[in-house]
Chains A and B, each alone.
Chain A
Amino acid sequence: MTSQDRPPAKQRSRQAARAVQSRRAIPWPLGVPALLGALFLLVPLAGLLVRAPWLGLPRILADSQVLDALRLSLLSASAATALSLVFGVPLAWVLARSQVRGISVLRALVTLPLVLPPVVGGVALLLAFGRQGILGRLLDEWTGITLPFTTAGVVIAETFVAMPFLIITVEGAFRAADRGFEEAAATLGASRLTVFRTVTIPLIGPSLLAGAVLCWARALGEFGATITFAGNFPGRTQTMPLAVYVALESDPEAAVALSLVLLVVSIAVLAGLRDRWMTTGAAG
Chain B
Amino acid sequence: MRRSALTLTTVAVAGLLLAGCSSSSTTGTSSATPSAPVSSTPALSGTINVFAAASLKEAFTKLGAQFETAHPGTKVVFNFGPSSGLATQITAGAPADVFASASTKNMDQVVSGGQVTSPTNFASNVMQIAVPPNNPANVTQLSDLTKSTVKVALCQQAVPCGVTAAKVFTNAKLTLVPVTQEIDVKAVLTKVALGEVDAGVVYVTDVRAAGTKVKGIVIPADVNASTKYPIATLTKAPNKATAQAFTDYVLSADGASVLTADAFAKP
Residues on A lying within 8 angstroms of B by beta carbon are 41, 117-119, 126, 130-132, 148-149, 161, 214, 217-218, 220-224, 227-228, 230-234, 237, 241, 245-246, 248-250, 252, 262, 266, 269-270, 273-274, 277-278, 281-282
Contact = CB atoms under 8 A, between A and B. Distances in A.
A132 B159 CA distance: 28
B18 A281 contact: no
A256 B179 CA distance: 27
A269 B22 CA distance: 15
Q: Across chains A and B, which 6 residue pairs bring their CB atoms closest together, nearest first? A: A231-B180, A221-B22, A250-B158, A249-B84, A149-B179, A132-B195
Contacts of A273: 11, 15
Given A221-B21, A223-B23, A224-B24, 16 more contacts: A131-B195, A131-B196, A132-B195, A149-B179, A214-B18, A217-B18, A223-B24, A231-B181, A232-B182, A237-B180, A246-B158, A249-B87, A250-B84, A266-B18, A269-B15, A274-B11
A233 B22 contact: no
Nearest to A169: B14
Given A223-B23, A232-B180, A270-B15, A278 B195 contact: no
A283 to B, nearest CB: 12
A131 B88 CA distance: 34
Interface string B147-183: 0000101001111000000000000000000111111
Interface in B18-42: 18-19, 21-26
A132 B196 contact: yes
Contact of B156 (A221, A246, A281): A246
A249 B158 contact: yes
Contacts of B238: none
A117 B24 CA distance: 8
A245 B25 contact: yes
A277 B23 contact: no
B3 A249 contact: no
30 contacts: A118-B21, A119-B24, A132-B194, A149-B151, A161-B21, A217-B15, A217-B18, A220-B22, A221-B21, A227-B26, A228-B26, A231-B153, A231-B181, A231-B182, A233-B178, A233-B180, A233-B181, A249-B84, A250-B84, A250-B157, A262-B19, A266-B18, A273-B15, A274-B7, A277-B10, A278-B3, A278-B4, A281-B3, A281-B10, A282-B3
A70 B87 CA distance: 27
B181 A148 contact: no
Contacts of A119: 24, 26
A255 B169 CA distance: 28
Contacts, number: 110
Contact of A270 (B11, B25, B180, B197): B11
B180 A149 contact: yes
Contacts of B16: 41
Contacts of A220: 22
A270 B10 CA distance: 11
A30 to B, nearest CB: 14
A277 B195 contact: no
Given A119-B24, A232-B183, A233-B178, A281 B7 contact: yes
B159 A249 contact: yes
B133 to A, nearest CB: 12
Query: Which of B22, B84, B194, B197 lies at the interface centre, i.e. has the most chain A CB atoms within 10 A of its CB?
Result: B22
B12 interface: yes
A231 B88 contact: no
Given A228-B26, A270-B12, A273-B11, A245 B196 contact: no
Interface in B103-147: none
Nearest to A149: B179
A228 B182 CA distance: 9
B34 to A, nearest CB: 20
B159 to A, nearest CB: 7
Contacts of B14: 214
B136 to A, nearest CB: 9
